Amino acid sequence: MLSLTTLLEFNFRWPTMVPGEVLALTTLMVFAILATLEFHAPREKRPKKHLRQSYKTNISLFFVNSIAMSLVSASTLLVLAERYSGKGLLNTLSSPAWKAVLSFLMLDLLMYLWHKASHSFDCLWMFHKVHHNDPYLNITTSFRIHFLELVITNFLKALLIILLGIEEAMVLTSEAIMTLFIMFHHTNISFKGEKLLGHFIIVPSLHRTHHSTQRCEHDSNYGAVLSLWDRLFGTLAELKAAEIGIKGNSPQDLVNLIKFGFGFTLPTPPSVQPINLDAMIAEAAYYKAEKRGFYPGNEIRDWLEAKREIITLVYGDKSVKNNSTRKHQCNYFKFINFNMNHTRIQDF
């Protein structure tokens, strides 16, 4: 996908197609409309703080990629199209309409196959997981792409352009269409007729499944524009994803996200769960009572021994001042009642 910045950088002279400036402006307008719909009527409501972080990171990554692609000549696809438009396999067709249709279908199929490969091979998933680690799927997630994944994508497109001889006008038109559709199916919206429309194109509900944390769900719905390829190759899944993103901790800021694509992550401190002494003491006392067959009369001794053992286990031999005596006593009496009820049940 060519970046919006790339579309704005170049002036194209097309005798039969819409000027590139108009396509770029249209893309920006569609982005604004979809972002507004997402903000006012989201499919899933998200905390504004987290959504702002997602917007900030994704837009920053978009600008970094745009600058990087400019340095490596992002116009290569268009130059190749201009040079090889009359030399590829499509040159055997006399109909411009069929050339245009087949050019688009082949580029869309390429995106499907490349997307599927990015999920199938670890060396490719390493970069593609950057796109998937956004836990708050929204329109800007469509720009959350690692630079190297973008380079490889354009390289594959370049090979297809040379092989088929796709014309320059069709290259830019296809790029614009794909950009619009990719923004669309990442948008956090729902609408009437979405399921029906999903029989023909990838809609937000289908792509939301693709962003599931469960691999059995996210290894599906690979299409960029048409859902035809997923239906044809058996990778379509009409499921509701319970959770979005990838499993485990992953960075959400720009710098560490780029490193994340190379397999480098900053060490994160392990989460420390608070110690629930009451539960530990109650469980230990229960097992002591169980060993003696829940015979009544030793409940206090069991509780005090369990309390002493657990505190020694947790804090060592240090004397610990207990600031929650009443709480422990309350739990002790709960334990007594449970023990007595348990004994009654056994007697019955």
**Residue range 103-115, pLDDT digits in tens:** 999 999 999 999 9
Structure tokens given for 331:
């739990």
Q: Among 20-29, 141-150, 176-185, 189-198, which is the least confidently predicted range?
A: 20-29
Whether residue 147 has pLDDT greater than 50: yes
Instruction: Determine the Cα–Cα distance for residues 267 and 48; give it in Å rounded to an integer.
Output: 27
* One-letter amino acid of 143: F
Distance CA 254, CA 33 (A): 26
> Can you give the pLDDT at residue 180?
94
212 DSSP β-pair partners: 244
CB atoms within 10 A of CB 196: 9
Helix (H, G, I), strand (E, B) or coil at 74: coil
CA dihedral 180, 221, 189, 31 (to 10 degrees): -20
Give the pLDDT of residue 231.
96
**C-beta of residue 61 within 8 angstroms of C-beta of residue 254:** yes
Residue type present at position 184: F
pLDDT over threshold 80, residue 196: yes
| Cα R_g (the chain), whole angstroms | 30
Structure confidence at residue 216 (pLDDT): 87
pLDDT tens-place string over residues 270-328: 455 566 777 777 777 777 777 777 767 777 777 788 777 777 776 665 444 444 444 44
The residue that leads in pLDDT, 183 or 320, is 183
DSSP SS3 for 212: strand
Q: Which of 162, 161, 181, 179 is nearest to 171 (CA)?
A: 161
State how far Cα 134 lies from the chain centre. Answer: 4
pLDDT digits (tens, 9 = 90+) for 197-220: 999 999 999 999 999 999 889 999
Q: Which amino acid is at 247?
A: K
Reported confidence tier of residue 5, pLDDT bands at 50, 70, 90: very low
Q: What residue has token string 């091979």?
A: 121
Of 111, 103, 151, 104, the C-alpha closest to 127 is: 151
Please check whether residue 3 is in contact with residue 74, taking contact to mean a CB–CB distance below 8 angstroms: yes
Q: 314-317, long-range: CB within 8 Å, 24+ apart, which pairs?
A: 314/275, 314/277, 314/280
pLDDT in tens, 217-236: 999 999 999 999 999 999 99
Q: Looking at residue 71, what is its pLDDT? A: 62
Q: Is the confidence at residue 151, as pLDDT, over 50?
A: yes
Q: If you average pLDDT over every residue of the chain, what do you get?
A: 80
pLDDT tens digits, residue range 153-168?
999 999 999 999 999 8
* Distant-in-sequence, close-in-space partners of 212: CB < 8 Å, separation ≥ 6: 218, 239, 241, 242, 243, 244
**Secondary structure E strands in the chain:** none
CA distance to 217, 305, 344, per residue, from 341 (Å): 47, 22, 5
Phi, psi for 322 (deg, rounded to 5): -95, 115
pTM confidence score: 0.70
Mean pLDDT computed over 124-139: 94
